[in-house]
């Protein structure tokens, strides 16, 4: 049962307050992480994953900052952008390297290739993959450590309708095992079909944290616009 928490989380880039005093807690299930362009979503996710340091406050997973996790890949898997592949490496080789670097059993590679539907493409070079296939490969890497938490930045980007339905099933199955998913998205129709809860930020500040129904009495889009419009900078 993994919990993700932001406490007083703040990030300043020069004079830009990207994230301001965010407090939220995410528990098992699927939580959509929503906000307009520039709201601070990616910055928040990068702080959770120890990729950038907060100016103030903390971002923790199971009570620990990412840097304090002894086996981070077993705790949290993440896909922030589907571009971090060596184009000349095959999908399988890419995952083998990640497994070795993360101290994970190589047997996981075939399991995750199967889980994301890339078994038949395992020997193909990632440089020739479509955007949707790169998303699947990124997801495979995130799943390698069999983590309790998945953090995904716009994972539906590039997926065709069948791919979106497949991703929804995968995330539901993952959450159904009592695990925690945080998924950022701009596609509210997809969010409505997938998420249990939402964290909404705008202008770097928290606007909502709670069940999806709680922000969408008159439709998710209307709720989202109401929560975020006064904060547009």
The structure tokens listed for 184 are: 């950022």
Instruction: Quickly count: other Cβ atoms within 10 Å of residue 104's Cβ.
Output: 20
The structure tokens listed for 13 are: 């880039």
Least distance (Å) from ligand ATP to the CB of residue 215?
17
Query: How many residues lie near ligand ATP (CB under 6 A)?
Result: 11
Beta-bridged to residue 150, according to DSSP, are 77, 181
13: contact with ligand ATP by CB under 6 A: yes
Nearer to ligand ATP, 16 or 165 (CB): 16
Nearer to ligand ATP, 39 or 159 (CB): 39
Least distance (Å) from ligand ATP to the CB of residue 63?
24
Q: How far is the C-alpha of 55 from the C-alpha of 75, rounded, in Å?
A: 24
Nearer to ligand ATP, 39 or 112 (CB): 39
Instruction: Quickly count: other Cβ atoms within 10 Å of residue 57's Cβ.
Output: 17
- Contacts of 215-224 with CB under 8 Å at 24 or more apart are 216/192, 220/188, 220/189, 220/191, 220/192, 221/188, 224/34, 224/188, 224/200
Chain positions 24 to 43 lying near ligand ATP, rule: CB under 6 A, are 35, 37-43
Chain positions 63 to 102 lying near ligand ATP, rule: CB under 6 A, are none
**Sole binder of ligand ATP in the list 8, 16, 71, 189 (CB under 6 A):** 16
Least distance (Å) from ligand ATP to the CB of residue 152?
13
Nearer to ligand ATP, 42 or 216 (CB): 42
Least distance (Å) from ligand ATP to the CB of residue 16?
5
The structure tokens listed for 189 are: 């129709």
Residue 103, classified by CB atoms within 10 Å of its CB into exposed (0-12), middle (13-18) or buried (19+), is exposed
Least distance (Å) from ligand ATP to the CB of residue 172?
24
- Binding site residues, ligand ATP, CB under 6 A: 13, 16, 18, 35, 37-43
């Amino acid at each position: 049962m993994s919990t993700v928490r932001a406490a007083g989380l703040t990030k300043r880039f020069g004079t830009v307050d990207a994230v301001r005093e965010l407090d939220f807690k995410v528990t098992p299930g699927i939580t959509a992480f929503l906000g307009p362009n520039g709201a601070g979503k990616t910055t928040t996710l990068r702080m959770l994953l120890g990729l950038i340091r907060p100016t103030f406050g903390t971002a923790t997973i199971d009570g620990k900052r990412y840097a304090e996790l002894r086996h981070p890949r077993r705790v949290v898997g993440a896909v922030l952008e589907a571009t971090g592949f060596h184009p000349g490496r095959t999908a399988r080789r890419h995952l083998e390297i990640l497994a070795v670097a993360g101290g994970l059993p190589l047997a996981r590679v075939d399991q995750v290739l199967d889980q994301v539907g890339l078994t038949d493409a395992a020997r193909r070079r990632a440089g020739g993959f479509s955007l949707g296939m790169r998303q699947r490969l990124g997801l495979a890497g995130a799943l390698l450590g069999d983590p309790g938490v998945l953090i995904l930045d716009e994972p539906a980007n590039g997926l065709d309708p069948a791919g979106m339905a497949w991703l929804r099933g995968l995330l539901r199955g993952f959450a159904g095992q009592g695990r925690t998913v945080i998924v950022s998205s701009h596609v509210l129709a997809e969010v409505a079909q997938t998420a249990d809860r939402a964290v909404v930020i705008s202008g770097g500040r928290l606007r909502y944290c709670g069940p999806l129904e709680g922000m969408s009495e008159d439709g998710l889009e209307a709720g989202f616009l109401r929560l975020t419009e006064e904060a547009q900078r």
